[in-house]
Chains A and B, each alone.
Chain A
């Protein structure tokens, strides 16, 4: 059964014949260990790598945050110089937004979405690998600015013009911000095309749009937001690169340019961006809460359409970031009203989660606690957000810590808490064991305490008038007390995040010591079809395409109403789970070219910043990898086709018969 053979094939025509055009472009098979991770095209491994990379960047962004809090703990502190402070808060914001929250959403979208729609992989597995590696390459390149090119960027994560021009920021830091994020943007764009195609076109038979899990819906909306938001940011970045590197004048006020152009482009991207950061977390808790409230999600169509409404309305509110930039009273009024309206679909979601929990038999495990944490803390952040929609109020709050408090409540208290809920919930599906519940509860309560101690006081500081991005303050300002509280809180919060990492290590070791017991296909009595396959999810996902007949399909296969109309369990999840038999399943082979192509991008980036001669190796590598990509078989030839040719890869010691694909199927880690 050659499941996605045709769909996977790039239409180069080269996958038809048994002949391998160039031996050097053979796709690796039997990759194991390190090389396996570098060349994999498996959406689950790619999702896990997105998750690992975002945790890695979380440590960088988190250390930057702690440095900021040390500096602000006491008045007139000299722990960080003004220059260092600027670089550190810029990198904190940039890393957290682009390299932590966004890829963490991508981690769940990649790992989970194909499993939830019953697909064997995403639509374009190699492009998927490329999306990850190009994100990672861009992120690494951005972070090399700590060491080279005169220091990290210092223009804030929003990098406003004209401060980002050569005249005010001559060092290369801004270029690293610009080019690095341009590169990660390529990954976001290819990723969004790939994931939207997968959702729209590769659903299991019977899974109509209105039978998709909420997480899939939120992924779809998120990826559409990316698809349309990224090109706008790309244009802003291209204009800035043209200005800084090639002497163009887009933000050159001397020649009449309007620097507000940057703000408009940035926030046309930037507001959809905030929704595409939070919607995956909304999707996650919309899966977790019904599972542990033991009730179906309340108002499924409302959940779906409020998400879609957010997706549309998110495009009409960007100028609420610019109320004090002089855009005129009419614009301010229009955007103010639009922003108040967008609170409605968000409120609908919160009510639906509450109604789902209402009267349910709540199981308060760690995943559920983190989900409730999201609902609570996001509500606080959402309410302070509505207070920004009121322009006169916002005029007072702009550039104060009140704003900082607001977006940390939605992005940390909301998005990140949701992601941690997702980690606890789907960890068994990804790795075959649960994360410890005892440490998990400690993890949750420490994070809640630390989070609210850190960001709660910032509301007060902001209303007291403490400006953002200020390196230090005078004791007479009266900011000392709450800053000290926030700084203590930040270390408690860091401890909470550390507990998550410790829990991962500890739970893994405990599982290994116990001889790797099988956690079972369905450890939580789940509702959606990813729980109908073994844990950890086998490489090929589904032995046969699942046939879906209803929302929460897996649940309905386990529970049926009896004569009296009462729901009764007729099967356990493990009884009806697919056994994980890969017989006859054909998976795309791994490939070197996604990572090689991705790695050529920062070389071109460095060439633009430092020396155009570097273009030569960069472009050569890019061309080579594009050729390699196009010339290697779009898919390894189906070993069960009986075409007798295998890969035509005489170098392969195992003779290239069909069996060589099998060992790969068993290695999931």
Chain B
């Protein structure tokens, strides 16, 4: 028995049985169909990498869901205690160096609104949203094989993301100067953990974008690798959408 025959044997149990057993005929047609697609297949018609990325993002939804819930709970409990003038909570804020006027504003409004600079954060949110647009252009350029444009758009996306991050660092610094520390209050812990986790995700995305850029300059980012850009894009859009949620929940909803 030749090598090839031996390897195909399990699929066609016995030649003389083929006429009797319909199932075996099906096997035969499967072999033909199978050889057509070069020996590998994907059952869903979706690449493994892309499926894995979707699964990862699904898992990330739960991560951010739990973090956002934690933030909402922490803020609510913080405000309840603050409005009730719990001395430990007040001391926590004062120990962080928060000016008395700001504390009184928190209490008067029953909200953490006074510390936020909504126009500033709206601006940085807009920048992050724009980066999703440039990401789409980057993917389009790579799939069309327009390498010069793809580099421009990848760099633009990374730059916009970095601008957003710079804004977050600036905002954290301002908050810290105004006495909102990580350990001083339940609200501080919740706010910095949630936004910090998101910031870490953006930073990860920027590193991916820069890696793509390096690959592109080394000529390794041809149009047959467009899916890599698409995957980074998926992640990037996801991080943006999460920010829209966070921005709405943390900054806009009183």
- Partner-contacting stretch, out of B32-40, B109-117, B164-172: B32-40
Give A159 Cβ to nearest chain B Cβ, in Å.
Answer: 16
Asked if B62 is at the interface of the complex by the 8 Å CB criterion, the answer is yes
Q: A229 CA to B66 CA in the complex, in Å?
A: 11
- List of A residues within 8 angstroms of B188 by Cβ: 249
A242's partner among B42, B189, B222 (CB-CB below 8 A) is B189
Taking a contact as CB atoms under 8 Å apart, the answer to whether B48 and A231 are in contact is no
Residue of A nearest to B21 (CB): A560
Q: Is A664 an interface residue (CB 8 A)?
A: no
Contact mask for chain B residues 185-205; partner A; CB cutoff 8 A; 1 contact, 0 none: 110111001000100000000
Query: Are A7 and B47 within 8 A (Cβ)?
Result: yes
Query: Which one of A169-177, A341-349, A540-548 is at the B interface?
Result: A540-548
Chain A 575-632 residues near chain B, CB threshold 8 A: 575-579, 581, 583
- In-complex Cβ contact of B3 among A3, A6, A254, A581 (8 A): A581
Contact status of A13 and B59, CB under 8 A, knowing A254-B88, A547-B27: no
Asked whether A230 is an interface residue with its Cβ less than 8 Å from the other chain, the reply is: yes
Closest B residue, CB atoms, query A233: B66
Q: Does B51 contact A (CB under 8 A)?
A: yes
The answer to whether B39 touches A1 (Cβ under 8 A) is yes
- A238 within 8 Å of B (CB atoms): yes
| B151-188 Cβ-contact flags toward A at 8 Å (1 or 0) | 00000000000000000000000000000001101101
A124 and B52 contact, CB distance less than 8 A: yes
With contact pairs A201-B42, A248-B182, A248-B183 given, residues A7 and B48 touching in the complex (Cβ less than 8 Å)? yes
**Least CB distance, A252 to chain B, in whole angstroms:** 7
**B144 close to A (CB within 8 Å):** no
- Report the interface size class on chain A: 35 or more
Q: Is there contact, CB below 8 Å, between B48 and A124?
A: yes
Q: Does A69 reach chain B (CB closer than 8 Å)?
A: no
CA distance A196 to B48 in the complex (A): 10
**Chain A residues, CB < 8 A from B74:** 249-250, 257
Contact across chains for B59 and A193 when beta carbons are under 8 A apart: yes
Given contacts A12-B215, A543-B7, contact A249 B189 (CB under 8 A): yes
Interface stretch (choices A30-38, A91-99, A202-210, A420-428): A202-210
Is B227 touching A11 in the complex (CB atoms < 8 A)?
yes
Say which one of A365-373, A501-509, A549-557, A649-657 lies at the interface with B. Answer: A549-557
- Find out whether the CB atom of B41 lies under 8 angstroms from the CB atom of A256: no
CA distance A10 to B62 in the complex (A): 26
Tell which of A205, A265, A578, A579 touches B34, judged by Cβ atoms closer than 8 Å: A205
Task: Let me know if B43 and A202 touch, CB within 8 A.
Answer: yes
CA distance in complex: A250, B56 (Å)? 26
Q: Does A528 contact B (CB under 8 A)?
A: no
- Given the known inter-chain contacts A6-B40, A11-B227, please indicate yes or no for A258 contacting B73, CB distance below 8 A: yes
With a CB–CB cut-off of 8 A, which chain B residues contact A550? 23
Q: Do A14 and B220 form a contact, CB below 8 Å, given A206-B30, A256-B77?
A: yes
Q: Are A201 and B86 in contact (CB under 8 A)?
A: no
**Which B residues touch A544, using CB under 8 A?**
7-8, 10-11
Whether B209 is near chain A, meaning CB under 8 Å from some CB there, is no
What's the least CB distance linking A263 to chain B, in Å? Answer: 13
A567 to B182, CA, bound (A): 72
Min distance, Cβ A537 to any Cβ of chain B, angstroms: 14
Are B48 and A252 in contact, with the CB atoms below 8 A? no
Name the distance in Å between A586's Cβ and chain B's nearest Cβ.
Answer: 10
C-alpha spacing A528/B20, complex, angstroms: 23
**Closest CB of chain A to B10's CB: distance in Å?**
5
- Chain A 97-137 residues near chain B, CB threshold 8 A: 123-124
Q: Are A249's CB and B186's CB within 8 A?
A: yes
From known contacts A205-B30, A250-B186, infer whether A256 and B80 are also in contact, taking CB-CB under 8 Å.
yes
CB of B118 closer than 8 Å to a CB of A: no
Instruction: Determine how close the nearest CB of chain B comes to the CB of A521; give it in whole angstroms.
Output: 10
Residues of B within 8 A of A532 (CB): 10
Bound Cα distance from A256 to B231, whole angstroms: 42
A194 within 8 A of B: yes
CB-nearest residue of chain A to B48: A123
Q: Out of B3, B48, B66, B73, name the residue touching A202 (CB < 8 Å).
A: B48
Q: Using Cβ atoms and an 8 Å threshold, which residues of chain B touch A546? A: 10-11
Per the CB 8 Å criterion, the residue count for chain B at the interface is 67
> Are A235 and B66 closer than 8 Å at their CB atoms?
yes
Q: Which residues in A have their C-beta under 8 angstroms from that of B231?
A: 11
Tell me if A645 counts as interface (CB < 8 A to partner B).
no
Report B-chain residues with C-beta under 8 Å of the C-beta of A380.
Answer: none
Tell me whether A201 and B70 are in contact (CB under 8 A): no
Residues of chain A lying within 8 A (CB to CB) of residue B222: 13
- Are B66 and A189 touching (Cβ within 8 A)? no
Could you tell me if B189 and A250 are in contact, using CB atoms closer than 8 angstroms?
yes
Residue A399 interfacial (CB < 8 Å): no
Kindly state the separation between the CA atoms of A234 and B64 in the bound complex, as whole angstroms: 11
In Å, the complex CA distance between A189 and B188 comes to: 29
Interchain CA distance A231-B42 in the complex, whole Å = 28
Interchain CA distance A228-B27 in the complex, whole Å: 38
Q: For the complex, what is the distance from the CA of A547 to the CA of B28, rounded to whole Å? A: 9
Q: Does A330 make an interface contact (CB < 8 A)?
A: no
CB distance from B13 to the nearest CB of A (A): 5
Question: How many angstroms between the C-alpha atoms of A203 and B56 in the bound complex?
Answer: 21
> B141 on the interface (CB 8 Å rule)?
no
A242 to B89, CA, bound (A): 19
Q: Indicate if the CB atoms of B186 and A235 lie closer than 8 Å.
A: no
Task: Considering the complex, give the chain A residue whose CB is closest to the CB of B24.
Answer: A557
A87 to chain B, nearest CB (A): 29
Docked pose: A257 CA to B22 CA in angstroms? 68
**Closest CB-CB distance, A626 to chain B, in whole Å?**
10
Q: B61 to chain A: closest CB distance in Å?
A: 8
- The residues of B that contact A10 with a CB separation of less than 8 Å are 49
A570 at the interface (CB under 8 A from B): yes
| Inter-subunit contact B52/A250 (CB<8 Å) | no
1/0 per position for A172-203, CB-CB distance to B under 8 A?
00000000000000000100111011001111
Distance A205 CA – B42 CA, assembled complex (angstroms):
9
Given A201-B48, A201-B51: A583 in contact with B3 (beta carbons within 8 A):
yes
Complex Cα gap A578–B44 (Å): 26
Given that A13-B215, A576-B9 are contacting pairs, would A547 and B47 also be in contact in the complex, using a CB cutoff of 8 Å?
no
Set of chain A residues within 8 Å of B13, measured between Cβ atoms: 557, 570-571, 575-576
| A495 at interface by CB-CB < 8 Å | no
CB-CB under 8 A from A235, the residues of chain B are 63, 66-67, 70
Are B17 and A570 in contact, CB atoms less than 8 angstroms apart? yes
Q: With contacts A205-B34, A228-B62, A258-B73 known, is A250 near B43, CB below 8 A? A: no
Q: Is B46 part of the contact surface with A, judged by Cβ < 8 Å?
A: yes
Determine the distance from Cα of A207 to Cα of B26 in the docked complex, in whole angstroms.
13
A189 and B6 contacting across the interface, CB-CB below 8 Å: no
Which chain B residue shows the least CB distance to A122? Answer: B48
In angstroms, Cα B231 to Cα A242, docked, is 31
**Bound Cα distance from A70 to B235, whole angstroms:** 53
Shortest C-beta distance, A497 to chain B (Å), equals 35
B225 within 8 A of A: yes
Is B243 in contact with chain A by the CB < 8 A criterion? Answer: no
Q: Mark B64-86, 1 if CB is under 8 A from A, else 0.
A: 00110010011001101100001
Q: How far is the CA of A493 from the CA of B62 in the complex (A)?
A: 40
Write out the residue numbers on chain B whose beta carbons fall within 8 Å of the beta carbon of A4. 40
Q: How far is it, in angstroms, between the C-alpha of A261 and the C-alpha of B77 when the chains are bound?
A: 11
**Chain A 222-248 against B: per-residue CB contact (8 Å), 1 yes, 0 no?**
000001111110111011001100111
B249 within 8 A of A: no
Within 8 Å CB of B42, what residues of A? 7, 201-202
A-B contact pairs, 13 of them (CB 8 A): A193-B52, A205-B30, A227-B55, A229-B62, A231-B63, A248-B183, A256-B86, A257-B186, A544-B11, A549-B27, A576-B9, A576-B13, A583-B7
Name 18 extra pairs, CB < 8 A, besides A231-B62, A250-B193. Answer: A7-B40, A11-B228, A12-B220, A13-B215, A13-B222, A14-B220, A200-B43, A201-B51, A207-B43, A242-B182, A248-B189, A255-B86, A255-B89, A257-B74, A549-B23, A549-B27, A570-B14, A583-B7
List the 6 closest pairs (A to B, CB-CB), nearest first: A247-B183, A256-B81, A547-B30, A13-B220, A11-B228, A248-B189
